């Protein structure tokens, strides 16, 4: 081991670093987000964690990026091929494995994590013995949170071919909490798409669901798990979901779906549709999958609250007055718009990504004469079912609020994942 080389820390990767020398000097390279330089940090971290799964192209790129970065970091040391082939043996990047939520050592299956957000799906699947071998998330702040907890930088925009090319050929489960965009449903084209006369590509063009379907078509995992808002079922008088379902069935996957409420697992009313599918070519539709039954436990909002929250989360007199006046104005009009002052022995409304703006949807009472307060970012994470050891402070409060509001309810996803994995591993495969 080269004693002069020292461990590279996660903290060495801020939002941008100077790494490339040009005739004009050093170039600022963005490490996170859509502007990141050739996904280089994603390539490096996926190489470190998943060398046995990644493509030869990724290996070559990882060596190139590692050499470039290490030569910048250690200019007086020759970076040999041996160092690039096994940097962990050289004592490098060990910090990328000293993380709160590592992959299980003896994994039972592999999965990919699309539209990964802050990592809720990954927590759920790892709890079932799954190893994540590819992740994708375009938001730079969510990427930071994800990397802090898993030691892996997600790739960027999954709609781009230069991102899809990094997906390993074979994996067992595709997970995707794909964003709910307006679905533009076109007429069925006669043009061939992905080998099908009336393929899904034409029917869902311009939607993120298309990208999920395309990846399913290319890689044919044993199973998939999709999550979306409840309204997906009723959007466009049911036509949107009809096309999604028919697309998945056209790809020869059996479909199981159910609208479930997060309140059965956390003290928050949060209805989402769960869509689980299994490859008919392997299982012939004979799998016996059932969604977990809700046991309606008593969960209280006070169970997730801090004992001594920072006073900065208490609403100002001006904001509190505004919210009260706003609620009164709409009450007079006969509608229910306004703030949500929670019963501490009850549950909250649905946490949204806009919570950072005023916190009005979920306000915590603090007693007579004291203005209510918004939840802290940590309390929001608890409301989504994240454990306290989950790192959320690598980003600002605003970004933490956004990430939690866009996240999945981890215990709910975990419960469904348990049933999916049990079904996948225990059902006979016909190949």
Catalytic residues: 180
The DSSP string of 183-220 is: P--PPPPSS-BTTBTT-HHHHSTTSHHHHHHHHHHHH-
Distance of CA 193 to the CA centre of its chain: 29
C-beta separation of 48 from 156 below 8 A: no
Rg (CA), the chain: 23
The answer for residues whose C-beta is within 8 angstroms of residue 382's C-beta and 6 or more apart is: 266, 304, 388
For 417, what's the count of Cα atoms within 13 Å in the CB-facing half-sphere?
27
Strand order in the sheet with 173-176: 130-135, 109-114, 173-176, 223-229, 271-279, 253-261
C-beta separation of 170 from 111 below 8 A: no
For residue 388 the two structure tokens come to 């306290």
Tell me how far CA of residue 101 lies from CA of 92, 125, 425, in angstroms: 20, 12, 23
For residue 268 the two structure tokens come to 């928050």
The CA distance from 178 to 240, in Å, is: 14
Number of H helices, E strands in the chain: 15, 10
The CA distance from 197 to 182, in Å, is: 25
The CA distance from 343 to 264, in Å, is: 17
b/e 127-137 (16+ beta carbons within 10 angstroms → b): bbebbbbbbbb
- Looking at residue 268, what DSSP letter applies? B
The CA distance from 13 to 40, in Å, is: 12
For residue 291 the two structure tokens come to 């969604």
The CA distance from 260 to 269, in Å, is: 10
For residue 122 the two structure tokens come to 């990954």
């Amino acid at each position: 081991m080269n004693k002069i080389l020292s461990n590279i820390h996660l903290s060495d990767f801020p939002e941008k670093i100077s790494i490339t020398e040009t005739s004009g000097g050093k170039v600022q390279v963005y490490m996170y987000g859509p502007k990141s330089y050739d996904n280089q940090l994603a390539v490096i971290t996926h190489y470190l964690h998943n060398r046995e799964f990644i493509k030869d192209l990724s290996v070559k790129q990882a060596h190139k990026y590692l050499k470039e970065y290490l030569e910048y970091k250690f200019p007086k040391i020759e970076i040999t091929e041996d160092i690039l082939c096994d940097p962990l043996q050289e004592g490098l990047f060990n910090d990328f494995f000293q993380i709160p939520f590592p992959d299980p050592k003896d994994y039972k299956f592999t999965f990919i994590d699309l539209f990964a957000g802050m990592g809720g799906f990954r927590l759920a699947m790892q709890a079932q013995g799954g190893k994540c071998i590819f992740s994708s998330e375009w938001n730079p702040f969510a990427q930071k949170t994800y990397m802090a907890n898993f030691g892996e930088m997600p790739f960027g925009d999954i709609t781009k071919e230069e991102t899809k090319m990094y997906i390993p050929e074979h994996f067992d489960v595709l997970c995707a909490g794909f964003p709910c965009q307006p679905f533009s449903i076109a007429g069925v084209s006669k043009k061939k798409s992905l080998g099908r006369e009336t393929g899904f590509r034409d029917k869902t063009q311009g939607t993120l669901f298309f990208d999920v379907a395309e990846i399913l078509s290319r890689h044919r995992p044993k199973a998939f798990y999709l999550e979306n808002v409840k309204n997906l079922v009723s959007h466009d008088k049911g036509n949107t979901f009809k096309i999604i379902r028919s697309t998945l069935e056209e790809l020869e996957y059996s479909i199981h779906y159910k609208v479930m409420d997060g309140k059965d697992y956390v003290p928050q009313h949060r209805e989402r549709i769960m869509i689980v599918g299994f490859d008919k070519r392997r299982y012939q539709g004979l799998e016996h999958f059932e969604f977990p039954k809700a046991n309606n436990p008593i969960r209280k909002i006070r169970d997730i609250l801090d004992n001594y929250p920072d006073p900065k989360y208490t609403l100002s007199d001006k904001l509190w007055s505004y919210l009260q006046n706003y609620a009164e104005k709409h009450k007079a009009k006969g509608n229910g718009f306004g703030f949500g002052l929670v019963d501490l022995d009850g549950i909250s409304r649905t946490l949204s990504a806009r919570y950072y703006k005023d916190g009005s949807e979920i306000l915590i009472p603090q007693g007579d004469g004291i203005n209510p307060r918004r939840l802290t970012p940590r309390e929001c994470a608890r409301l989504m079912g994240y454990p306290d050891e989950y790192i959320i402070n690598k980003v600002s409060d605003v970004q933490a609020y956004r990430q939690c509001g866009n996240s999945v309810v981890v215990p709910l996803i975990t419960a469904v994942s348990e049933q999916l994995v049990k079904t996948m591993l225990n059902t006979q495969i016909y190949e």
